[in-house]
Structure 1
Amino acid sequence: MASLAEKLKNGQTIVTAWSGLAVPILSELLARSGYEAVTMDLQHGQHDLASARDAFAAMSGLNAHRIARIPVGDFATASRLLDLGAEAIIAPMINSAKEAQAFADFMKFPPMGRRSWSPHRAAMLAGQDVETYFQRANQDLLALAMIETKEAIEALDDILAVDGIDGVFVGPSDLSLTLSNGAALEPNSPATAKIAAEIASRAREAGKIASIFCLTAEKVHESREAGFQLMAYGMDMGLFSQAATDALKACKP
């Protein structure tokens, strides 16, 4: 199976489910349902290293790509998640080239970065020996910097120029908050969409991957048209809650 990086760099678009519940079988079920990728959220979700580890294992062999979002500034956790089998890491609140470089250093092996060596479990889940994993890691494992502040937008070209940053991930909620100086939470507003599309365009011009969190299915289609390739849509808590509500409603007289 082609790697997540190969698919995105070849122009494919992928929708990833978003997992905030630290229950590995739920991530497995999302993968079994047909999602091409599932993202474990360690920033705002309930996941930790143990639940992400078990979710990655549960997804192994299901042809769904393993992604994780780390807490703000916790780049050491990025390396640990890679060792556990993550194929892409989303790092929130990357506001400068310096922060982007720090993130990339934990994501890439020398000479591109400074990642420490011990990917034995990751190689196992990838179906590779450690030598093959080492040869492919810097190109196959994606470092996605979240762009969600005015500072990040101003520094975007410098962030994109960092060797080892493979792309960006737009967080529309925080983006709308910072653009309005905290006056409004409007992730689906035309103004937020316009800025997001500009970020995608600049990322693509730099030869990097553009990705985004979507709150509606319509936003997935809109984002794809705007040049985004990786779209997050479908949070486990909401999906299972809605399914339970629909099931009960169908049973009422």
Structure 2
Amino acid sequence: MSLSSRLRAGETILSAWSTLPEPLTIEAIAHSAFDAVVLDMQHGGHDEASVLHGVGHIMQAGKPAIVRIPVGRFDMASRALDFGAEAVIAPMVNSVEDARRFAAAMKYPPIGERSWGAMRNKASYGDPRSGDYLTQVNQQTLAFAMIETREAFDALDAILGVRGIDGVFVGPSDFSIAWSNGREVDPNSESIVEPITEIASKAAAAGKIAGIYSGSAEFARHYIERGFRFVTVGNDKAYLCMAAEALVKATRG
């Protein structure tokens, strides 16, 4: 089943987060227990070349690939899909206009304005020469608009109402900065639990998917209980450090 089908069926997807553009690192986490892998172009080291090759490694592992594009790089959203990604996360979508521009890049007509030129035609979408293929692509590729500012939170209902936006994704660190008016960076702040939970509730009511970045298993469980179904847990640098620390501690007894 595709990522879209699984999420729309109510399954909770736990995804790895890749910041290191090293092929063997991507391959390793793609073959781990995670359900999917996100390649981060915004704050991670990924560029177009590493996304092109990284998506291939993830697909070969039988997992869906997701790409977080840089701020405003909606052209890269289309390229990520051409490369074989099943979903794209767009940061700092703060208005209906931002959401419309993102959706336009993600979806073929009549929903959006995506240009034809897929490098990897996935068999699950059907015959690429048919109109059914375009319909399947529009249904099976997911556009996640990041909600991480007060402006985006205030426009949430309108953003969720944009045709072609399939879900929202919360960046809790940036959200905490915005919610505290720049006083703190604390993704675990009690003050943001209620508004973040409201984001998940409104997404569900709109028939959309709610996702969130989590830095720990405890944080992930907390927000899964509150309705989030696409949850990324930690990142590749953290996996390496945590495993190294656990190994050294076990060896020293």
**Superposed pair shares fold, TM > 0.5:** yes
Displacement of 1:252 after TM fit? 4.0
User: How far, CA to CA, are the matches of 1:172 and 1:138 in structure 2?
Assistant: 28
Q: Which residue of 2 aligns with 1:194?
A: 194
User: How far, CA to CA, are the matches of 2:140 and 2:188 in structure 1?
Assistant: 32
Residues 167 and 209, structure 1, Cα contact 8 Å, conserved in 2: yes
Q: Which residue of 1 aligns with 2:118?
A: 119
Displacement of 1:30 after TM fit? 1.2
**Is residue 135 of structure 2 the alignment partner of residue 135 of structure 1?**
yes
Secondary structure, in 3 states, of the residue corresponding to 1:213? strand
* 2:128 counterpart letter in structure 1: V
Q: Which runs of 4+ in 1 moved over 3 A?
A: 124-129, 248-253
Displacement of 1:19 after TM fit? 0.3
Which residues of structure 2 form unaligned runs of 5+?
none
User: How far, CA to CA, are the matches of 2:123 and 2:234 in structure 1?
Assistant: 25
Displacement of 1:246 after TM fit? 2.7
Secondary structure, in 3 states, of the residue corresponding to 2:138? helix
Q: Which residue of 1 aligns with 2:183?
A: 183
Matches within 5 A, 1:209-224: 209-224=209-224
Aligned CA distance change for structure 1 residues 128 and 24 (closer, same or farther; 3 Å): farther
Q: Which residue of 1 aligns with 2:226?
A: 226
Q: Deviations over 1:177-217 (max 9, x none)?
A: 01111101111111112111011001110110000011111
Aligned CA distance change for structure 1 residues 233 and 125 (closer, same or farther; 3 Å): farther
Q: TM-score, normalised by structure 1?
A: 0.95
Secondary structure, in 3 states, of the residue corresponding to 1:102? helix
User: How far, CA to CA, are the matches of 1:124 and 1:154 in structure 2?
Assistant: 37
Displacement of 1:125 after TM fit? 7.7
Secondary structure, in 3 states, of the residue corresponding to 1:120? coil
Matches within 5 A, 1:157-172: 157-172=157-172
Residues 60 and 125, structure 1, Cα contact 8 Å, conserved in 2: no
Higher mean Cα deviation, 241-250 or 160-169? 241-250
User: How far, CA to CA, are the matches of 2:172 and 2:122 in structure 1?
Assistant: 35
User: How far, CA to CA, are the matches of 2:58 and 2:178 in structure 1?
Assistant: 36
Matches within 5 A, 1:1-253: 2-121=1-120, 123-124=121-122, 129-131=127-129, 133-252=133-252
* 1:248 counterpart letter in structure 2: V
User: How far, CA to CA, are the matches of 2:93 and 2:123 in structure 1?
Assistant: 29
* 1:39 counterpart letter in structure 2: V
Residues 125 and 133, structure 2, Cα contact 8 Å, conserved in 1: no
Q: Deviations over 1:38-78 (max 9, x none)?
A: 00000000001111111111122322110010000110011
User: How far, CA to CA, are the matches of 1:128 and 1:67 in structure 2?
Assistant: 21
* 1:186 counterpart letter in structure 2: D
Q: Cα RMSD between the aligned structures?
A: 1.6
How many residue pairs match? The answer is 251
